[in-house]
A and B are shown apart, each in its own frame.
Chain A
């Protein structure tokens, strides 16, 4: 699942520049958890008027070739035309606090909003490289899309020193692929958020029952079937040219076996479910009666 528009940039291998002794295998992928992304956006919303962009520390885990960003913490910083300052004490305190709850996660890099990379970016990158040494620090630039003419998206970079004599303010940001990752249980939480989109109300009531969720899903499937049907009809009628890829895909999908649903097992499964339903309601009724009986006076 790539984030943002694909770039035409070649994903350069970060050649070992010889400055680090142990050969670091090149980083190939960065995954970002939605929570980190949401926190960044929230931080961006809470910036002061004077702040052009906000920065913070990315926290997560790393393997040889991949960095997983699980979380992020906001960091105070100030940028003027002359200098950039990052509140180091604050950064340390906040990370320690974070470390208490999730001891496994380490600093993997930093984020900033907006997509312009400048000298200050290089300086901050240099600072974070020291924090994450001997590994490379990753820089995630989140374009919030709030400014005119910019596409919202997320880009990840790793820094690579440039020049004959490496200087902190000189740095090439090498883009690396970056994607969103979350587990299945969290998926439904995201669904809850995507549901809250109807333009006139920016909030939705919760909780919805299981049945409602199911209804929505079935509705979506039904809509999709309709779309497929329209497409197939128009191909048959010769209005559109059929796409062999789509045809094969459809053939595979509709050939999926439904063996488990033959008559015998359906009936027994149905009975099981009915018994469970009956039992559950019986237990509930008993529990309620029992609670009420406790309130009856003995006299």
Chain B
């Protein structure tokens, strides 16, 4: 009906406008108060991230369920006036079969999940993904690859939220949000991570990601519910609350004095250093090989020139000089991305070690002081 009407109108129009304008998708009128904050073209950059309590608990559970392998899942939400609100998430199945098949299954799973979320009035726009890690080392090739893929597909390029499992078990749950920096993306697009490219982009491990401030939001209903759970249930007021009977008793795990986690952390740092040493060795070996090949090629060119000089003096035609590239294969400069990521991991591990040690010191002195009284 509508199309025939459009055709009729188009027919009645002057000939210059022969083709009917393609049917514009009709948007609901945006109220003027909102017109500033809604951007259809994604022009307002994401300044902060707001993580819903539901997502927090989902990520925490998923991470602790699949420990020690990293948990991976997608984040769902919407952005409004520079704040990216993440309202839901779902885990991705752990795939370790062959790449192609699992990739397709994953895509199917993702689509089905989003569809079913939509049916219960939940948000259904993927805005990024989350990954759990241990002891602050989140620099991983897989994470970079996934984020780089998202960067092209998603609005605002997508963000990644990392959750530290080891820190959570120490009593401080941490969530951090990152996105890739422009310079890294540029280098990544050309798959160039040799020294020259690194210098051009000024890339170190600390400039791969930029951190986005993150806030956690508890909706009032949930807040009220948790509050009810964490207040001791109607015990007689006269009685001293020696044993709290709340469903959510206060916890004092941050006060644990044991320093067992240091050992593990220290091992991780050492392993990281070993890996880095091996990687450096490889790079140095490749660099030597390049230098050797280059020297041989240069020597060849030099020799050919002398020969040519001799031949011209004898009145013979000079031999071609450009067969060097055919005779000698100079390997291209190796990618330094791997070593950069390893450095990032080492930095993460040692940062959490340093933090742990400083907290440990405080706790030791606190305990010592109280036992001295």
Contacts and interface: CB of A to CB of B under 8 A. Distances in A.
Nearest to A218: B366
A74 interface: yes
A74 B251 CA distance: 31
Contacts of A231: 240
A45 interface: yes
A179 B252 CA distance: 21
B57 interface: yes
B247 A1 contact: yes
Contacts of B347: 283-284, 287-288
Contacts of A297: 199
A236 interface: no
- Name, among A93, A194, A245, the residue most crowded by chain B CB atoms within 10 Å (CB to CB): A194
A144 B221 contact: yes
Interface in B309-365: 336, 340, 343, 346-347, 350-351, 353-364
Range class of the A interface residue count? 35 or more
Nearest to A43: B120
Interface in A22-64: 33-35, 37-39, 41-48
Given A2-B233, A204-B215, A290 B343 contact: yes
Given A188-B168, A193-B53, A297-B199, A270 B359 contact: no
A183 interface: yes
B354 A277 contact: yes
Interface string B213-250: 11111111111111111100110000110100111111
Interface in B141-197: 165, 167-176, 195
B60 A185 contact: yes
Nearest to B59: A189
B215 A295 contact: no
Contacts of A21: none
Interface string A169-203: 00000000001101111111111111011000011
A189 B88 CA distance: 16
Contacts of B60: 185-186, 189
A81 interface: no
A266 B167 CA distance: 25
A35 B219 CA distance: 14
A6 interface: yes
A153 B273 CA distance: 52
Interface stretch (B3-11, B24-32, B108-116): B108-116
B93 interface: yes
B363 A214 contact: yes
A33 B340 contact: no
A12 interface: no
A291 B204 contact: yes
Interface stretch (B14-22, B33-41, B254-262): B254-262
B70 interface: no
Q: Which of B94, B204, B220, B262 has the most CB of A within 10 A?
A: B204
A237 interface: no
Contact of B368 (A208, A209, A261, A274): A261
Interface stretch (A94-102, A121-129, A160-168): A94-102
A210 B57 contact: no
A245 B242 contact: yes
A73 B23 CA distance: 38
B205 A90 contact: no
Given A193-B56, A196-B216, A287 B350 contact: yes
A186 B219 contact: no
A152 B225 contact: yes
A257 B122 CA distance: 53
Contact of A186 (B61, B113, B172, B364): B61
B255 A214 contact: yes
Contacts of A255: none
Contacts of B219: 41-42, 45, 202
Contacts of A269: 259, 364
Contacts of B214: 205-207
Nearest to B176: A207
B216 A266 contact: no
B295 interface: no
Contacts of A46: 120-122
Contacts of B90: 101
Contacts of B67: 185
B371 interface: yes
B92 interface: yes
9 contacts: A39-B54, A151-B228, A196-B53, A209-B172, A213-B171, A280-B357, A283-B350, A284-B354, A290-B343
Given A94-B116, A190-B57, 16 more contacts: A5-B234, A45-B221, A102-B65, A144-B221, A182-B61, A186-B61, A187-B251, A188-B251, A202-B217, A203-B215, A203-B218, A206-B175, A210-B170, A273-B259, A276-B262, A280-B353
For the complex of A and B, the 7 pairs showing the least CB-CB separation, nearest first, are A189-B60, A277-B357, A280-B354, A291-B204, A207-B174, A280-B353, A188-B173
